[in-house]
Every structure is written in C-alpha cells, then in structure tokens.
Structure 1
Amino acid sequence: MRVIISPAKKMNVDTDSFPVSGLPRFLPQAGQILKAMRAMPPGELQKLWKCNDAIAKLNVGRLRHMDLRQGLTPAVLSYEGIQYQYMAPGVMEAEQLAYLQEHVRILSGFYGVLRPFDGVTPYRLEMQARLPLEGFRNLYAFWGGRLAEALAAETDFIVNLASREYSRAVLPHLPSAVDVLTCVFGQRKDGKVLEKGTRCKMARGQMVRWLAENRIEKREQLRAFSDLGYHFEAGLSTENQFVFIEGGR
C-alpha cells in the first residue's frame, strides 16, 4: 500500500531534527526545471507563481542560491501547510516515522514524487503552473506517466489523499492492475457531500497520522477512521471511494 498526498506551498529549512535518508528519485528532472526557472526574468516568475511581491522576492532569491544536493531538509518536515500540521511528523515515534517512509509518497511539481525523508530544498512551483519545458506545454505533460510508473513499481494499491491538482498527475496514467481508493472528507448539505478546502486538508493530515499510529495496511481498515469528528458513510461510499462525513450520524 502507498498513500499519495499533496505538498504545501509554504516550506522551511530544518537540517537538525532528523537526517535525510537519500535524494529524490527524479533529481535530474528537478534540475531541468530549476534551469528553466532560472532562465526566466523575475516578472515572469511572479506570474508563474501567482504571488505577491514579497513572496516573489523570497523565491527569486531561493532560485539564485538553490543547491539540490546540500543543506537539505527531510520532505515531510519541510512542508508547513495545514495538512502537515495535523500530520505532525515532528512529534511522531520512530515506528510511525518508519511507516511514513515506507507507505507515504508526496507528489510535487518540482520533485515529481518524494519519500518522506528524501532531502529537499524550499521551492515554489505548483503542479498546475504553466511552465513550458523542452517542448512540453506544462508540468503535467512534462511528468507524463513517470510518476505513475514509479508508484506502480512499488505497489498495486494506492490510497489517494492528494488534491485533484496533484492526483491528476498520477491517476490517469496508472495501469489497470493498480487499485486506487480515494478518500473524501465532507459535510452533508442539501443531500450532497460538501468538501471544504481547509477541513479537507486537516482531515487528510490527521488520517496520515492515524494510519501511521495504527499501522494500517488494508483497505477495510480505513473504514475505522473517526478522528476530528468524521465517520465512514457506507451509503455514500463505493469500492473505490470512501466517504467520511463530519458531524453526527
């Protein structure tokens, strides 16, 4: 089983808490992307990143001094978004961290796919960014089936906890032999399931923590998730999509 999750925009540097265990699998491709971005003027980069002046200035500086092989942070500690706050890897026990390293894969527009303790450096690049690369119109085309191929080589069962932006870089390319289970977190409203961005990120991070704490390995075991007031809703779920509803039954 492998669990795919999204990265976060905000990143930090932490070279002290835990050592990195290796370099990203697709480091040569990250180097290609870095070269292409360094060739762009600051104004074009800001348009690519869709950010304010302060964030653009920070990341232009990062690009100028970026080293993909030294001064690295474990990926799971580098991302600072809501999902990672609820995952809280910094306070996990050794067995839980080992579970993350074996089972969790972080999708990235810059690095492709990451193991939690692959060493990374802060960057800004969303998967949906329109960055042309060597004849490819965007990052989805650049990565093509490479990420799906890498995951399919590891497992025949994927739990999808990634956002649509990132999951679409993998799911369409997976061979039919790979079973995919997507988890949906929402609230009931007018007979429908309403997904709210922040609540979803919280639930995804909490589920990753729960998976690690309970060493979950099988599809059926995921039904037991009940953190943050969620419960599995059998009537709304299918074999390939588990729906968790927030609030009373």
Structure 2
Amino acid sequence: MYRVFLADDEPWILISLKNLIDWGECGFVICGEATDGIKAWERIVRTKPDLIISDIKMPGMDGIELIKKVREEKLRTEVAIISGYSDFEYARAGLKYGCTDYLIKPVDEEELVGCLEKVKEKLDGSLTAVPEVEKEEEGYRSEGRLLKEILLYIQENYRTVTQQQLADEFSLSVSSVSQMIKRRTGKSYSDHLLEIRISKAQELLRLTNESIEEISEKVGYSDYFYFLKVFKKATGISPSAFRRSLS
C-alpha cells in the first residue's frame, strides 16, 4: 500500500475525499491530513507519504509553497494539486514544480481514481528502479575494495611493478586498471607510482648514507640520470640538494 496525505483548508472537502472512493482498492492508505499548509508540512515530514494531494490555496503556507518545500527538501513523494477553475493560472505554477496531476473542484470519483492510477504507475516504476541503483552502489563499493588491493600491491612492489603485472594479478585489462586508478584517485597510474618512488627516495636520503645511485636503483630506477631528472621535476630540487637541506 502507498501512503497518501490530504491537505485542504475546508474540512468538508477532506471528508468528501476520504469517502469518495475505496482507497485500499486503489492501492493507497491515508496516512494523515491537515487544514493549513504549516501543519501539513510538519506532518508530511513525520509521516513521509508517497503522495500528497493538496489544495492550491491554504492559510499559513499555500499549495505552491508546500510543493516548493517538498522539492527543496528532496522528499521522495508525488504531488497532486486541487483547485477551482478560477485558480487555473495560479495552479500552473504548481505544475512547473513537477506535480503529477491537477484536480478540479469538486473532485469526482473518476478523476480521483485516474489520478491515483497515474501516480501508482509512477511509484511502481520507481520501485523497480531501486534494485538497479543498489546494484550500482554495490558495484561502486566492490570497485573501491579492489582498488585498495591494487594500491596496496603497488605500494609493496613499487620497485618493479608494471601495469601489465597489475592486470595479470587482478584479472583485468591494462586499460581497466589505468581507468580505475584515475577515476577513483584523480591520478594516473604513472603519477601514483612516481609519488611512491619519490617518497621512498626521500626517506632513504633522510635515513641512510647510501649513495644517490644506490637509492636510485632501490626505488626502481635503473637509469641514474633519469632518476635525477624525475626527482628534481617532482620536488623542485636535486637529490643531493635535498640531502644537504636536512643537515
């Protein structure tokens, strides 16, 4: 059963709406009602209806303001507005805020049932979409766990690791590995690996007396001069200048 909230400043209209049809047969149950906009809003927040049927003109907060409030707060609820013929232009403002339907006073049985059928079809559709959203979220979380494993593998094997090695280790394509790292960290694979290697090189420069050439090999650079180039580009100074700055 979907939950419906009724709002109208004329109590006799509320009574008429409640007695006009068999709500349960239409797939709805009335979860609350109010005779002014402020009370309606307070009760809507508490009851969280699937559908609001509201008069366009009410004291405290009119129907348009109520609809705006619903949309601003991103409540997952459909809205149908009730109005007289003379208020049609005013009611148009409600339509632009995504009202599902517009009912003319006095509301008749056929019109109300038609409105509920339209809303129910929409709500049924949104329910079938939920599992897809959940699948996407679970996929995103699974990718997050996989990425942590990939980054840990890079951290532990930074001296020799290659993208092909990662792809083989995690049964992915090279492009999938590259895209995942970029999508989730904002950095390319090569930038991420460079950061780790330079950080390790700085650590060795700070904590050991090993030569810069030895450190170059230890962090994965067999070409000493290439190491000097990438270190300076990444830090702004040479390895020897970095070591001198520590003393």
Normalising by structure 2, what TM-score?
0.28
- Which structure is higher in helix share? 2
Please say which structure displays the higher CA radius of gyration.
2
- Per the normalisation by structure 1, the TM-score is 0.28
Instruction: Select the structure that is richer in strand.
Output: 1
